[in-house]
Structure 1
């Protein structure tokens, strides 16, 4: 199953392929017919711009967003200018009497309007604007510009035969500057945008800037740079289109609570209206009562039904004719209605205050709920004259309340189970709700925190200053705006622990816009901040040595290149023979060598000095306020410590050079170059000696690690010398071959001693390890100038005459002659020497084996010389 990372990678690859195809299509169209390419590129931009206009115009009732409104107006007018630019291009033959200057002028005029539109939209994001006035301004500017261009009053932008004019080039940079300012204005308002919308705006602005750069550098409207400019413009318009269609309007938090309050207010208003209606009914009598849709019952002070009015007999489940002039006890209402109504009426009669009761009846259409409101109609002397009972079917309201209760409970459950801490306060900043995560992070239980001021429970300080942060609830209540905590916020829990947090606070508002409370959402960001610190550390430090890396050193050089740091010394150091160490002792030893060198420099340098690794084997030290004498002293201390440092068999050696800037007018780049040159001079002087010493050390180590190795190499060397003399080699060639015989197995330094000394047969894997020793020896010898001519002889000494050898499978005379000689000497010595893993052969047996393998494994001529003239 493809994981998320793989899916993202596939998505990126797909986008790259699409973009490559688009560029290829544009290039093909340009090569086939430039006007076709130009109409396609400009036509795409015009079509997308027109789409942006219609999307925003048709969606404006859903949002109040000046940024999008201004963009749509601006692009509407840009469409017409770009259309004229497209039609004015050479070969379209639309505007007779005009040359390439006309489309270039139209282009620069359109880009001025586009860049100013982006800037104005970003600046007037939250301002009220008069849409008609904006249309008028754009129309006026567009007409004036077009008239000036076609009347040849607009500055020239392109001269045929000469190219772009200074006006055109300067204008492009002005437009780039305007778009950049718009970019930063948009960045300041990033909290007002959806993340995807903001990302697409940034991409659009960036590609607009690239477009202008392309159209600054081209010299011919038909060249590749012009093509890239149109491609970047297509991307710019595409991403602003994506920004428009991805705009989202954020819903206020806790909207469900507001809906509940609105419904409750509506219900309470209905109750108040009904009470008023009851009072009016008492004065307007039967005519008004009959006009009501509720069940109206009037009882006298003896609880005899005197009047009944109902639009629906189901309200009482009893026929009205059977109720009149009867006592309440004589009527058999179904339970629980009868008991509830009688109890409510008695309560009203005893207290003299209105009362209400809810009950339900199980009817054929299902369970129905009713609300009965009972009040007294007093007589002139204050006695009870009548009892008024109004019954209303509230089944729909009950269903609605049940839905609301379910939604409220669902919201509360969600709130209490989210992974972030959530605290809700009232309009006085007192805590009302607290979820389990908030309990865990603050150390307070919700029972303890309920009703307490937020600042008693949510105690936040600045990690750096240790000063208390402002109360987010108080600030939201004062401003009515959503806020976020500043960086470095630390939450102090009740258990005296500290947690780095990120948080935001948002207002809870009622229908009138009044802030009725605050919701604070916060999370533990300790792990994220720790990872961020690690990333920041890795971005400026070398992972192996822990020193600063090249990026940091280069930035530090610029930062320290000031008058107050003079004299300013730059010291460059190179590890002699690192590659040789890697080849001879392995990369792990090479890493230890680099770490050892880093420790030496850290030990020698002062607190204000900056030490960094700027390459594989190269280091740099920045020494502010350090003259040549002081720098020389530091260099000598480094060399002295280095010469005394041991690392197993590895020689620790550094090439050191420095240069000092003493005058503010000196170019720091020249100082760096001089430091490099001094280092290379030092390396040339001492590096060769160090590499020769390393080769000698490797040979000593091989002889110590492996049984009979010194005897083997010496004998092979002697045999090689004898064969070379017998074949008439010059003294120089004899000497070289003799040395190659000594060095032919130097690559065995990387093979474990127990493997070479193993008495039993080697496994396939072990043999593969041993087969690599010629390549290792070759790489080592190539690192030393003196041994470069011998490297290939060592590399190919295990090749076979029939091409079945290794490492390259060379055949016959393709194998260097010296390697063929070493092969014969090496095998003969191995057969006649004492080995734990084989029986020692006699001279006759060994000669017989050589002659048997002559022409297959060995060069037959060399075998003949060796047998007849050497042995």
Structure 2
């Protein structure tokens, strides 16, 4: 044997025998052998000596195979000691009937140079024993040996029986178990084996599924499947949740419990697969249900407080947090009544035991009494609330839920609605509905005497048309305040319609009504809107003399009287209103009365040249005075602007002719000039405003005024331009003749002014 082989054997033998912490114990013979340089046979003997199996050395001699050494295990098996067996032939040790099998296999082993395993019988200690024998050749420098290992076939058979039983049991379990099982090759992911349950689950035959890899079933990416498979092989992860595709294309969620194992020296992954689709669907449905619950709890405007079975707070939704001032984290787990105090709104008597009562009897309660809840800061809020038990699936009570609503705003809205039901929104006075409800009371109908006063605001329509409804509303509010203040708390002041008011005076006669009307008229003199609009109201009155008089007919008499007085006052009022408007216009516009006088002089002279009749001349004078009356409705900053108007400002300025038209339409005496006021800014070619009339469709007086007014404006200073010369004005009139102005009127006017 070579030296390094001998050293290897020494190390192997020493390691084999030294299984504990103590030093290896050697026989004196071995120790003695160590004192000199060991021979090849010594090493072989040492190898055999310290092996746990029954081993012996055979040596080939001229007489045949003989034993040269055996170990203690072999001695126990055969009954031959090391001394007794040395140089004994096979025939002697094994017996006449059995040695030839050993001899033949020894020859074959030596010849082939390979280990041989065979079954043989031998007669040892008077017993015939069947053994498995392993022969291994060992070639030395000078001679060859055979290492014989006797294997106990009884032990092997027992092991094989047990192994067969385990294999049979595993195979039975694999084939008959209802769980889906796969055996997978880790390197490639190839499915090596599948049990019948797997075939039924996936829908493949055994031939089909064993021709597939696991990534063809797993819908994750191949890279992800490979990575997770190697984690399972390394024992880093054993449980997985995967989406697997069945043969019919259906995707099922599965739990995969995968463990590495070794078969015939090869690593595999043994996977037990459970269909988790229904569980995952239920989990998803539960999650969605929780999300819906959470969303509902967050979105609902009512406060929601829940407790557990002991009455300790478990949740507050955002509305409850906002209403009571507590955050859920602050009160979680605390007793309900230690945090939330609920009392009767009027008596302040605490309402205790609400949660405990519901937990005890399992009955829902709705608190109908006026109730308040104390907030975190001690402030009280009125609430409407109900408390109900929370039941589990088996019917037991697991807690309560209290739903409450802060009714502060709803109360205010209710009061507002009730107020508006009986009050006029603009003036704050009672309305017709109040009148009907007031006289639906039997005791009110029996009151007598009772005076009814009806009032109608004069000129409200004109005010709205000229100055807008905002100014008209201010006028109505001022009148309403005056009526209410003067009438006092004893009498009921009602806004009857748009511009009509009524005063009901229980216990008063007509004299009392006359006194009240005089006082009101005196107070109305103090009203003046925008320094221009004065308040004027026509009043009528009637008396309910007996308890049998119905209020309707009495009211009608008061209304008829009011209209009679209004007819008498209206003409005077219209005149007053027009004069007030003209006075206001004079204050607002830059033109002077001299401008009006000059216009009047020019138009009358031109009218003479045109041979107009008296009626046309009178309308022309009236138009000259009132054509710009609509400018009372134009803001001062636009009327008095020294520079050029913006497009928006110019659009506003152009509305003055329509405003003037509406003013004149409200005064019967001015109806004759309404159309002429409306169209005095139209142009001959149709490019004027507001209607775009052209040519002779424009009223004659409007065309006359347009020429004369343009000349006078050009020859006198304006806020936006200085005066131009007479010659420049004439040239401009000629330039605009046929486009802006009537050519015939331009020629007549130039002829007229050239003789001045």
Q: Map Cα deviations across residues 838-867 of structure 1 (whole Å, 9 max, x no partner).
A: 353444543454455444433344445444
Match of 1:768 in 2: 651
CA distance in 1, matches of 2:672, 2:443: 46
Counterpart of 2:696 in structure 1 is: 813
Distance (whole Å) between structure 2 residues aligned to residue 773 and residue 450 of structure 1: 70
Deviation at 1:549, TM superposition (A): 4.0
Matched, 1:699 2:582: yes
**Alpha-carbon separation, structure 2, partners of 1:456 and 1:628:** 67
The 1-side partners of 2:613 and 2:353 are apart by 93
Deviates more, 1:431-440 or 1:691-700: 431-440
Instruction: Say if 1:765 and 1:454 are closer, same or farther in 2 by CA, change over 3 A.
Output: closer
Secondary structure of residue in 2 paired with 1:518: strand
* CA-to-aligned-CA distance 1:269-304 (integer Å, 9 cap, x gap): xxxxxxxxxxxxxxxxxxxxxxxxxxxxxxxxxxxx
In structure 1, C-alpha distance between the alignment counterparts of 2:363 and 2:492, rounded to whole Å: 46
Deviations 1:98-137 (A, max 9, x none): xxxxxxxxxxxxxxxxxxxxxxxxxxxxxxxxxxxxxxxx
Structure 1 residue 491 corresponds to structure 2 residue 373: yes
Larger radius of gyration: 2
Q: Are the counterparts in 2 of residues 721 and 735 from structure 1 also a CA contact under 8 Å?
A: no
Map Cα deviations across residues 122-153 of structure 1 (whole Å, 9 max, x no partner): xxxxxxxxxxxxxxxxxxxxxxxxxxxxxxxx
Deviations 1:55-101 (A, max 9, x none): xxxxxxxxxxxxxxxxxxxxxxxxxxxxxxxxxxxxxxxxxxxxxxx
Aligned-pair distance for 1:774?
A: 0.9
How far 1:515 moved relative to its partner? Answer: 6.2
Superposed, 1:263-662 pairs within 5 Å as: 420-424=302-306, 430-431=311-312, 433-435=314-316, 438=320, 441-442=323-324, 457-463=339-345, 472-473=354-355, 476=358, 481-486=363-368, 488-509=370-391, 518-559=400-441, 562-647=444-529, 648-662=531-545
CA distance 1:549–1:853, change in 2 (3 Å): same
The structure-2 alpha-carbon separation of the partners of 1:573 and 1:799, relative to structure 1 and needing over 3 Å to count, comes to: same
Instruction: Check if 1:719 corresponds to 2:602.
Output: yes
- For residue 454 of structure 2, give the secondary structure of its aligned residue in structure 1: strand
Higher fraction of helix: 1
Give the number of equivalent residue pairs: 484
Which is worse superposed, 460-469 or 674-683? 460-469
Match in the other structure for 1:86: none
Question: 1:814 and 1:518, CA in 2 relative to 1: closer, same or farther beyond 3 A?
Answer: same
Compared with structure 1, are the counterparts of its residues 474 and 552 closer, same or farther at alpha carbon in structure 2 (3 Å cutoff)? farther
1:788 paired residue among 651, 671, 679:
671
> Shift in Å at residue 576 of structure 1?
1.6
**C-alpha displacement of 1:808:** 0.8
Secondary structure at the aligned position of 1:503 is classed as: strand
Asked if the contact 1:557/1:622 (under 8 Å) is kept, the reply is no
Q: Which runs of 5+ in 1 are unaligned?
A: 1-312, 318-361, 369-395
Using the alignment, how far apart are the partners of 1:782 and 1:418 within structure 2? 57
RMSD: 4.3
Unaligned runs of 5+ in 2: 1-168, 174-237, 241-254, 259-275
1:826 equivalent among 690, 697, 709: 709
Q: Is the 1:750–1:773 contact (alpha carbons within 8 Å) kept by the matching residues of 2?
A: yes
The alignment partner of 2:384 has SS state of strand
Contact 2:439-2:445 at 8 Å conserved across structures: no
CA shift, 1:773, in A, is 1.2
Greater mean alpha carbon deviation, residues 647-656 or residues 586-595: 586-595
512-521 vs 798-807, which moves further: 512-521
TM-score (norm 2): 0.55
Quote the offset at 1:641 in angstroms: 0.1
- How far apart in 1 are the matches of 2:468 and 2:711? 31
What secondary structure sits across from 1:833 in the alignment?
Answer: coil
Aligned to 1:674: 557
Cα displacement (A) at 1:716: 1.6
Tell me how far apart the structure 2 counterparts of residues 678 and 784 of structure 1 sit (CA, whole Å): 22
Alignment of structure 1 residues 10-409 onto 2, 5 Å: none
Q: 1:764 to 1:687 in 2, by over 3 A?
A: same
SS for the counterpart of 1:616 is: coil
CA distance in 1, matches of 2:305, 2:361: 19
Does the 8 A contact of 1:797 with 1:823 survive in 2? yes
Q: CA deviation at 1:778?
A: 0.9
Superposed CA offset, 1:721-742 (max 9, x none): 3333444444454333212201
C-alpha distance after superposition, 1:358-381 (max 9, x if no partner): xxxx9999789xxxxxxxxxxxxx
Residue 40 (structure 2) aligns with: none
